[in-house]
Amino acid sequence: MTAFISGISVVCFAASYLVALVCEASRPLFRSGVRGATLLAFAAAGFVAHTLFLGWRAATEPAVPLSSAFDWYLLAAWVLAGGYVWLMLANPRTQVGLFLLPVVLGLIGAAELSSRAPFPQSPATQVWGAVHGSFNLAASVAVAGGAVAGLMWLIQAARLAGKRAPAQGLRLPSLELLAATVSRAAHFAAWTAAAGFFSGLVLNAVNRRRGLLETVPWDDPVVLRMGALVAWLVVAAGLGRALVTRPDGARRAAWLSLVSFVVLTASILWGVLGPTRHGVPPVPTPSASSTTQLQEAAP
């Protein structure tokens, strides 16, 4: 059993999600009596493999469980994939996967491009690190979920405005449900991103006070981009709330959710490709090393 679990790779569950996505994409093209079961089987198999993979990494990595950028993206993908499987079971005729699975696969792709080395963390700041990472994860998932709902709102609205009956195999949730999802996701994303950002500031302040090497400069690009992201998400949530009472408020909120997703994606790409000290293992200089050791040893 151990050999089986340790043999699971990213390709296993990514391929399962890809097959599920192909099945979803084929829904409007032709009808099939076995596609629903095939789709669910591959999505569920991918999710189980994904879970086992993360569980194996959490159990076997010597550092804090799931504390690398690689793990972080895979966790975000795992939450969205779990949501997709749940939606498939709850409402199999609604075609959410066509919109959600590309995001899941995109996050898996981002994971593959990211470092598997754990974020440097001293025992003293592990809790703050976990809080920071968890809030950022929740915010990212909420932004992605909100954008998926927003995109579906726009497609559904275009169909209703064009006075067309639902296309074969493309049955979307109602505008009412999608608008509510967009609004809740925007608020949740703003709160959790803000909490993630401020917990990151606290984490960095603690690191700085203790003179730890993983301290990130206050003007590091990651601080700036996360600050900008949080500011945008708070503004977007506020705008969304203000627009609720306008006749075209739902449409604008849907567009805002897509913009939030673009901002998040740009922020992630910047994090993956751009220069930063965030999450980079410290390279101790002789003087810094001795200072750190003294600080760590201090009562």
Partner 1 sequence: MTLAFVGGTHRTVPLQVRERLAFSAEQAAEALRRFRDRFPGREAVLLSTCNRVELYAAGEEAATPPPAEQLVSFLAECRGIDAAELAPLLARESDEAVVRHLFSVASGLDSMVLGEPQIVAQVKQAWALAQRTETTGPLTGGMFQAALRTAKRVASETAIGRERLSIPSVAVSDFARGVFETFADKRVLVIGAGKMAHETLRYLREAGATDIVVVNRTADRADRLAARLGGRPGRFADLAAELTAADLVVSTTGAGEPVVTAGLFARAEAGRAGRPLVVLDLAVPRDFEATIAGRPGVWLYTIDDLGAACDANRKRRQRELPAAVGIVDLHHRSTAPVIARLRAGWTETGDAELERLFRRLPGLDAAAQAEIRQAFERYAAKMLHSPLTSLRNESHSGPPHGLLDALKRLFDLKD
Among 9, 60, 91, 168, binds partner 1 (CB under 8 A): 168
* Burial (CB count <10 Å: 0-12, 13-18, 19+), residue 174: exposed
The two three-digit tokens of residue 128, written as one number: 């703050």
Applying CB under 8 A, does 177 fall inside the site for partner 1? Answer: yes
* Burial (CB count <10 Å: 0-12, 13-18, 19+), residue 294: exposed
Among 127, 244, 262, 294, binds partner 1 (CB under 8 A): 244
Among 25, 206, 243, 288, binds partner 1 (CB under 8 A): 243
The three-state (H, E, C) secondary structure of the chain, written as one string:
CHHHHHCCCHHHHHHHHHHHHHHHHHCCCCCCCCHHHHHHHHHHHHHHHHHHHHHHHHHHCCCCCCCEHHHHHHHHHHHHHHHHHHHHHHCCCECCHHHHHHHHHHHHHHHHHCCCCECCCCHHHHHHHHHHHHHHHHHHHHHHHHHHHHHHHHHHHHHHHCCCCCCCCCECCCHHHHHHHHHHHHHHHHHHHHHHHHHHHHHHHHHHHHCCCCCCCCCCHHHHHHHHHHHHHHHHHHHHHHHCCCCCHHHHHHHHHHHHHHHHHHHHHHHHHCCCCCCCCCCCCHHHHHHHHHHHHCC
- Contact code string over 23-42 relative to partner 1, x by CB under 8 A: --------xxx---------
Among 246, 259, 293, 294, binds partner 1 (CB under 8 A): 246
Applying CB under 8 A, does 174 fall inside the site for partner 1? Answer: yes
Choose one: 94-102, 104-112, 163-171, 282-290; the region binding partner 1 (CB under 8 A): 163-171
Applying CB under 8 A, does 90 fall inside the site for partner 1? Answer: no
Applying CB under 8 A, does 249 fall inside the site for partner 1? Answer: yes
Applying CB under 8 A, does 159 fall inside the site for partner 1? Answer: yes
Applying CB under 8 A, does 148 fall inside the site for partner 1? Answer: no
- Contact code string over 256-295 relative to partner 1, x by CB under 8 A: ----------------------------------------
Taking the least distance from each CB to partner 1, the nearer of 40 and 231 is 40
Applying CB under 8 A, does 63 fall inside the site for partner 1? Answer: no
Taking the least distance from each CB to partner 1, the nearer of 247 and 299 is 247
Among 1, 3, 90, 161, binds partner 1 (CB under 8 A): 161
Query: Minimum distance between the CB of residue 246 and partner 1, rounded to whole angstroms?
Result: 5
Query: Minimum distance between the CB of residue 25 and partner 1, rounded to whole angstroms?
Result: 18
Taking the least distance from each CB to partner 1, the nearer of 2 and 245 is 245
- Residues at the site binding partner 1, with contacts judged by CB under 8 A: 31-33, 156, 159-161, 163-166, 168, 172-177, 243-251
